Amino acid sequence: MKITIEVDCTPEEARSFLGLPDVSAANSAYVETITKAMQGATSPEQLRPYAEALAPMGQIGLKLFQSFVEGSMKAAQRAGDGGRSGD
């Protein structure tokens, strides 16, 4: 037996129903800060120190995230070729 329930609500309504905080003000401030930082940058290397400072746990967090993304990409590639990859 399969039961499907469809809920039609806005993100704000879902957040409220689940008891999650409204972080739209913090998100707006974060986006504004990133936008200002990127306005003067002419290359990705100029943004690297800023990105490292914003990353959780600094550079270590950035490296952990990078390894997570690379591992996920490898797993997706293996799944795509039926697990026949030599990785």
Determine, yes or no, domain membership for 4: no
Non-local (6+) Cβ contacts of 14 within 8 A are: 7
pLDDT for the residue numbered 23: 84
Alpha-carbon distance of 50 to 43, in angstroms, equals 13
What average pLDDT does the chain have? 77
Instruction: Identify the pLDDT of residue 2.
Output: 94
Rounded to the nearest 5°, which phi and psi values hold at 19?
Answer: 75, 20
Which DSSP category does 56 fall into?
A: T
- The answer as to whether 3 is a domain residue is no
Residue 12, pLDDT > 90, answer: no
pLDDT, residue 8, reads 93
For the chain, the domain total comes to: 2
What are the tens digits of pLDDT across the range 33-63? 777 777 776 776 777 776 766 666 666 766 7
For residue 2, tell me if it sits in a domain: no
pTM above 0.85, yes or no: no
pLDDT for the residue numbered 4? 94
Which structural domain range is residue 14 located in?
9-39
